[in-house]
Structure 1
């Protein structure tokens, strides 16, 4: 059992409100008063107030100050947190103080977590590293790193004890790079020279944590509530970190990222669609990462997507369920025309060539590259959902004994995200989420509609499935608004060129040999 009680601590009174402030590490230069949110700098044996931090954005994380655990056999305690803000939302970085005095950072990474430590610089960074686009390989300290994301961000708020003094007024470029060993390198140009942090993916259950927040990760709703800006119906987000939510009454998509600022909420209307096959809020037990261990996952979001084929290629449609587990983060259950699958964002980057990719020792064959568009959403999401969001995707599949394994590369804005997963049987999906046997026809994807499939109670379910596809087709074949493609990818991009060439053409039909077979992770450009 880890003992979170420090062997030695330094205590003083807040110079603004007089509340006690404790430092567990002699190396920590500042702390945030838990009572008045004053930022306090250590000045000899006293504390000097240098400002006040903003309110923290409440989120779904089970982590909090005082949580203790073990990493690589060494005990640690979470003593501080910084909350980073950027255009697409926020992410948290927790200051972990080890019993041996070492500081580390437990950070959020696409719905999962990374444990990172500061590393000394052995050589100068490449020129223009802060302006290198995603997908480019840079050699840093003689090792290859692939740029995964580049965003403008700042420290929005903080709490507890920190290992550095943040500048709350400064916005800088945060670049994350990944390697084929599953590591993440984080660089921030707000400091000269930039500090370097290297980390690896961790699972919260593997850290033997105790002192976590108890109960479901529901968002604390203010007494005033949140009203839909379109119809006035009450909105009740279940996850504190949700940035978008769909009104249950009028189906408007509402941006709630600024709900605490008292400003109007941005939103857009969408056509009503049929309900998802798996009800919102339903929980199921799945092995979402191929580890052989099943966990409970709850459906919190749903989105319909289609590809934008070029030339005479047929159009493809699929649906994705956003799944949530309090300690493991998020996963995506994908319902495509050729079957079901489950994928999760991965840390690191595969070793990829023109026709293949290697990830964790498995070789994947390249299947398709295509532009995907989100056409309809329900529920809530930890990224900002925008009308007709587009991304550039590449799908890969394993071969031989690994044929059930899947890999996806998705680029949105200034970020590239890789996801890995596996094919699921329809019966396994039904069993996991408690779907009744008389709905089997609606879940079956790899058989024709003939014979007994049309008999009894199942025939009408197939009719409903056809209706769903017709509705999705009508949403995807909307004239291909090339202005939105230009705004997303740029006027000189291949995507915009292809769109203008297709302008005026009609939409494709369901099925075909091109497009997404298993979807993938769509963050709308979300970094964390």
Structure 2
């Protein structure tokens, strides 16, 4: 470890890794550049936005039989959201990166790219490329900007620094081609490769607890908070730091609540709300965990068939979707271990040794969105969908020009969903209306009988008035006293 004095404030700045060339002073936020025989102040580094990650500088764990420690971080934002890249130092002196996005993690280390690597502009999502160790499918392509940083880093970076990256997947394996510093003299991208991981699987220590997160971010990670729509004042339940892209259910205003100052992305207009089976904020008890509906979508295919999707979250579990179609309910979760072959235009794919056959391919358009989501979404968004089946279970690939995702679904009985959310049984409403229908029929029948018998009485109305009144009471009094089961 090397310790230098901050050229801005004089505080000690530690460089744990010999590969680190830059560190952010924790006292004055100065960006300290380490040169051969001196250090230089490159200016202030922006603080990371509301920090809800469980990871922090000093978090340690084990990956691939090697112990590691988190020593730095950069925070990156792109059109649809943001993510963290944590710089880690292994106990053998090597380094790597721990990607952290919406509760999903990947660990990668530096590798040599294969000859014939593609140009950034030429990469097409869903196509396969050999990045150095066999074919991988391009899963993501984006341009992001650095919005903050902490600790020490292996290259020069500052607020506004632009990252041009493409991600690739094969099964649980993951790779990134980083074109950020590629130029005419050095056109080759940097290659980082590794695998999807979990914090529990890496036996991570010194993770932040709820109180530490609240102290830095102002709110507890995973606790649903309420945001007032900046346009109409409607309350929106959202998840700070994880599902902070909000769409007002009343006026469709889109907001980004991932930073201290809520940003209005697009002002909406008053419109009729779409009726969903599950309401925003509805709570479900699923096993030992409590889930809450954060967002709801209505989507349609190119033939006009519609279905609804609900985003659910628990503080003890990851996001998942409940999908409601004309055929019933299903539960869908994002995959970390992707199918092989991974392309959505293949006829057959395998996951965990199980073969799935493609059944449908179609565009899906968002007709209506309301609530909070872990990415930016709006009415009119279109993705291409390829569905695969194996018995009652299914896979779905959803892709655009920028991103490809895979999810696995399984059917859920309607009675099970109603039990989770404590909804009335499917036939309860129908049965409740039935007594009213029967009484309506009885009333109409009595009116017809009265009408037919009233005609001859008109010719001698004075003499028969008492009898008419008595008959009316005898006919209608039982119906009036009959209990109304619907009330």
Deviation string 1:139-175 (CA, Å, 9 cap, x unpaired) is 2326112111211123222111223322544434311
Equivalent residue number for residue 408 of structure 1: 396
Equivalent residue number for residue 280 of structure 1: 281
The unaligned stretches of length 5 or more in structure 1 are 1-8, 287-293, 310-314, 442-448, 461-528
1:276: how far off? 4.5
2:20 is the alignment partner of 1:28: yes
1:453: how far off? 7.9
For 1:118-267, list aligned pairs within 5 A. Answer: 118-121=110-113, 123-141=114-132, 143-166=134-157, 168-179=159-170, 181-192=171-182, 193-215=188-210, 220=218, 228-232=229-233, 237-247=238-248, 250-256=250-256, 260=260, 265-267=265-267
Cα distance, 1:259–1:111 mapped onto 2, change above 3 Å: closer
1:69: how far off? 2.3
Equivalent residue number for residue 299 of structure 1: 293
Cα distance, 1:231–1:110 mapped onto 2, change above 3 Å: closer
**Whole-angstrom distance in 2 between the partners of 1:326 and 1:15:** 43
Cα distance, 1:183–1:262 mapped onto 2, change above 3 Å: closer
Equivalent residue number for residue 43 of structure 1: 35
Cα distance, 1:429–1:96 mapped onto 2, change above 3 Å: farther
TM normalised by structure 1 equals: 0.70
1:46: how far off? 5.2
1:36: how far off? 2.2
**Whole-angstrom distance in 1 between the partners of 2:38 and 2:272:** 60
Q: CA RMSD in A?
A: 3.2
Cα distance, 1:304–1:127 mapped onto 2, change above 3 Å: closer
**Whole-angstrom distance in 2 between the partners of 1:191 and 1:404:** 47
Deviation string 1:350-393 (CA, Å, 9 cap, x unpaired) is 31564322223211121211221222233211211222222111
Cα distance, 1:295–1:397 mapped onto 2, change above 3 Å: farther
Alignment partner of 1:205: what SS?
A: coil
Deviation string 1:105-143 (CA, Å, 9 cap, x unpaired) is 11135651111111123x323343542211111223261
1:195: how far off? 1.0
Cα distance, 1:112–1:48 mapped onto 2, change above 3 Å: same
Cα distance, 1:203–1:49 mapped onto 2, change above 3 Å: same
1:296: how far off? 5.2
**Whole-angstrom distance in 2 between the partners of 1:458 and 1:382:** 44
Structure with larger RCO (C-alpha < 8 A, sep 6+): 1
The unaligned stretches of length 5 or more in structure 2 are 183-187, 220-225, 437-487
Alignment partner of 2:201: what SS?
A: helix
1:81: how far off? 0.9
Alignment partner of 1:455: what SS?
A: helix
Q: Tell whether the 8 Å contact from 1:258 to 1:265 is kept in structure 2 after alignment.
A: no
TM normalised by structure 2 equals: 0.76
Alignment partner of 1:165: what SS?
A: coil
Alignment partner of 2:200: what SS?
A: helix
Structure with the greater alpha carbon radius of gyration? 2
**Whole-angstrom distance in 2 between the partners of 1:321 and 1:204:** 26
**Whole-angstrom distance in 2 between the partners of 1:143 and 1:66:** 35
Cα distance, 1:47–1:457 mapped onto 2, change above 3 Å: farther
Cα distance, 1:103–1:271 mapped onto 2, change above 3 Å: farther
Q: Tell whether the 8 Å contact from 2:142 to 2:164 is kept in structure 1 after alignment.
A: yes
